[in-house]
Structure 1
Amino acid sequence: MNDYVIGINLPDSTNLTNLEAELTRIQRDGFDACEINLSTFPLIIGGELQPMVVEHVKEILKRYPLRYTAHAGYGLDLRNLEEHTMHRAVLFSSIDACAALGITPLNLHYEVQTLYTAREKAFFDAHAEAAEYGLNLGVQINIENIEIEYASKAAEFVRAVNHPNLGMTLDLGHLFLSATHFGYDFMETVKDCAPLLRHLHINDNTGDFELLRMTNFDIYKTMDRNYRFAFGRGDIHIPPFWGKVPLKEAFAVIKKAGYQGVWLCEYYNQSFLPFNKEVQERVRREIENA
């Protein structure tokens, strides 16, 4: 029962005053690990690490027998040439934050490949340097597929950088939406990505792609979450096995490939508080039975 590390993301409603309560709940619900979006706390301001905040968070994290992983904060864009110095500063401060807090891996979004050679080179170089920098600090760097791009491009990028400290985070919910929208095979892509996996995001959705995610991201961000739940619109991040993503089949492939990382349930868990323990138990059971 304890061979698999099952984690959950820290809710976006968390702050410096209720962090301890949230971690207590996560431990009580039987999870072994917790993923923290670095934007949750003011760990970085103006590209610079804030030692007082780091120490405050560190003191709380170490009270719990949980493994911690991290997600890069909102807005990081390493293809941004106009503000590249600042984005690089945030990237490397994020790695420093993880090292100081004892967190690994750090997950970064692949986002969308552009047609601009200079932007793609900047993106490549930043990740290659981050992988080496993280290696020296004990922080694994991973690239995550998102729903508005082919997951194979994230996998190809990891292979192209070819660094031992750069792996892939496979988000199964993102993959399902992307495969449905762009018309490629979900399970074949899971098989292709499986050897590269260092981290896993497990969430569910209906497979109904929301076009506003691509055509007008600003409006998309204003869409009411409960409306999107009710109509099953886009990347709704509902609990595993509450939607239509073929998770059982994916688990079997990933397990067979010898995946050793955290099985991280990444969903809007603050909306499902009475059911989170049951979600943990179901995911653990499905992995064992895969």
Structure 2
Amino acid sequence: MNDYIIGVNLPDSTGLPQLAEVLKRYVTDGFNACEINLSTFPMIIGGEIKPIVVDFVKEILGRYPLRYTAHAGYGLDLRNLEELDMHRAVLFSSIEVCASLGIELMNLHYEVKTQYAAREKAFFDAHREAAEYAMKLGVKLSIENIEVEIAEKTAEFVRAVDHPNLGMTLDLGHLYLSAKHFGYDFLETVKECAPLLSHLHINDNTGDFEMMRLTNFDLYKTMDRNYRFAFGRGDIHVPPFWGKAPLAEALAVIKQTKYSGFWICEYYNQSFVPFNREVQERVRREIENA
């Protein structure tokens, strides 16, 4: 049996007092890795690292036989020229936090490509500089496709940056929504992106794109999660194989490329606690049998 690294994301609602309990449960459920959103804990305040918090988290992470990846914190926008110094400070502090915690890879969002050359240049330059800096600290960077943009643009960006320490995160749930909404082929895009992959997010949805994600993102973020589950609205991040995305076919394509990174089950796992072990086993089985 191959040693696939099947991971799961830490819920954003996890408080510092609950961290050990949640990680222990992940080990019991058979996961090998955990992805942590850096916004979950106040490790960076005003762009500056708070060592007391980082040290607290590091001690707890070290108790468990898990490998760790990170997701850059919410709100990071490297196209924001008006507050670029602060966003860059948060970016580079995030890389340093990852290095301190022994986190192997940090994931960043691509979001939507703008029509403004200056914003795109700032975005490009920040990632290229960050990739070089992170490489010196032993942290891999990976940039993720989002459902509001065509996934190929993320791939094009990775090719353009052309740095050995910047790869692509393929989020299969985002890809499914994007392909359905913009009208391109899901599996063909998996094949095109697969050679660039340094990271993988596996989650599911119904393929029903939520237009409010484009027209009013602030209001979209206030939508009740249980309502969105019930009606299948947008990027609902339900467990793999609980929705309609052709995940088995996608995993087979990725496996054929000899992908050796993390297979992160990125879903609202706090809503599915009794089933999380079953989710891990199903994903592992699908990869092994692909």
> Would you say same fold, with TM above 0.5?
yes
Residue number in structure 2 paired with 1:82: 82
Alpha-carbon displacement from aligned partner over 1:198-235 (angstroms, at most 9, x marks no partner): 10000000000000000000110010000000000000
Partner-residue secondary structure (3-state), 1:222? coil
Q: Aligned partners of 2:16, 2:166: CA distance in 1, in Å?
A: 30
Partner-residue secondary structure (3-state), 1:94? helix
Partner-residue secondary structure (3-state), 2:96? helix
Query: Aligned runs of 1:15-26 on 2, under 5 Å?
Result: 15-26=15-26
Query: Aligned runs of 1:101-112 on 2, under 5 Å?
Result: 101-112=101-112
Residue number in structure 1 paired with 2:281: 281
Residue number in structure 2 paired with 1:229: 229
Q: Aligned partners of 2:289, 2:204: CA distance in 1, in Å?
A: 19
Alpha-carbon displacement from aligned partner over 1:155-201 (angstroms, at most 9, x marks no partner): 00000000000000000000000000000010110000000001000
One-letter code aligned to 1:277: R
Query: Aligned runs of 1:40-189 on 2, under 5 Å?
Result: 40-189=40-189
Partner-residue secondary structure (3-state), 1:17? helix
Partner-residue secondary structure (3-state), 1:82? helix
Partner-residue secondary structure (3-state), 1:240? coil
Residue number in structure 2 paired with 1:6: 6
* Percent of pairs with identical residues: 78
Alpha-carbon displacement from aligned partner over 1:41-92 (angstroms, at most 9, x marks no partner): 0010000011000000000000101000000000000000000000000000
After TM superposition, what 4+ stretches of structure 1 lie above 4 angstroms from structure 2? none
Cα pair 2:145 2:151 within 8 Å, conserved: yes
Tell me how far 1:272 sits from its aligned partner.
0.3
1:207 aligns with 2:224: no
Cα pair 2:2 2:288 within 8 Å, conserved: no
Partner-residue secondary structure (3-state), 1:90? helix
Q: Aligned partners of 1:11, 1:107: CA distance in 2, in Å?
A: 16
Q: Which ranges of structure 1 fall in alignment gaps of 5 or more residues?
A: none
One-letter code aligned to 2:289: N
One-letter code aligned to 1:257: T
Q: Kindly tell me the number of residue pairs found equivalent between the two proteins.
A: 290
Q: Aligned partners of 1:155, 1:114: CA distance in 2, in Å?
A: 16
